[in-house]
Amino acid sequence: MQLGEVIGTATATVKHPSMNGWKLLIVQPYLADGTTPDAEPVLAIDDRGAGRGERVIITSDGAGTRALVGSDNTPVRWSVLGIADQ
Amino acid sequence: MRIGKVIGTVTLNRWHESLRGASYRIVVPMSLDNLRGESQPKAEEFVVYDELGAGAGSLIAISEGGEAAQPFRPEIKPVDAYCAAILDSIDL
């Protein structure tokens, strides 16, 4: 699990069918200092309602994400677990 | 999934039997600065399996590692990068 900041959203019409109806957030993970970007931003699906500028915990647990999506065939790995208060 | 920009296409004349009919794009991953237009992508490009028909210049969602082969289950394919979506817009 990693802490990241929601920096934006993405939309797609042509996509894997398992992604239909899911909001796609662009999340930038950070290094331990909390300000240096850790590699490229990732696309994560979200059903928690996280918005731009919020700190979120994202998980790279593909099996967990497959269960969340309800599809064994989804190519999605990252999903939002929760929104950090502070 | 990372966001990548399609910069080209690969065609093969021999392939692993499980990859017959597949189509491939050459993609560079996009950093935050790249997405904001503050710098040009300079990361190493790689090949992505594409069955959605992404064109040159498109931004796509790239699924990597184990998840990249997940859409083919129960078939097994030696794919470690898969175009999961063609992005219409990104709002930063």
pTM over 0.90: yes
Please state the ipTM of this predicted complex.
Answer: 0.93
Contact check, Cβ <8 Å, B31/A41: yes
Output phi, psi for A25, to 5 deg. Answer: -105, 145
Give the model confidence (pLDDT) of B40-84 as tens digits: 999 999 999 999 999 999 999 999 999 999 999 999 999 999 999
Q: What is the C-alpha to C-alpha distance for residues B90 and B27, in angstroms, rounded to an integer? A: 17
B75 sits in the region (left: phi over 0; alpha: psi -120 to 50; else beta) called: beta
Instruction: Name every chain A residue with its beta carbon within 8 A of the beta carbon of B84.
Output: 15-16, 19, 75-76
Contact check, Cβ <8 Å, B1/A62: no
Q: Which tokens in the block code for residue A18?
A: 């398992």
Q: What is the C-alpha to C-alpha distance for residues A47 and B92, in angstroms, rounded to an integer? A: 19
Size of interface A-B (CB pairs under 8 A): 101
Statement: residue B21 has pLDDT above 90: no
Q: Output the DSSP codes for A8-37.
A: EEEEEEEE-GGGTT-EEEEEEEB-TTSSSB
Residue A27 CB contacts under 8 Å (≥ 6 apart), including other chains: A4, A5, A6, A7, A41, A42, A43, A44, A56, A58, A78, A80
pLDDT > 70 in chain B, percent? 100
The pLDDT of residue A16: 98
Q: Find residue B61's DSSP bridge partners.
A: B3, B85
Which residue out of B31, B83, B87 would a mutagenesis test of the A interface target, given it has the greatest number of A Cβ atoms within 10 Å?
B87
**Nearest residue of chain A to residue B34 (CA atoms):** A40
Task: Report the pLDDT averaged over residues A44-69.
Answer: 96
The pLDDT of residue A86: 79
A61 touches chain B (CB under 8 A): no
Q: Find residue A14's DSSP bridge partners.
A: B86
Contact check, Cβ <8 Å, B87/A11: yes
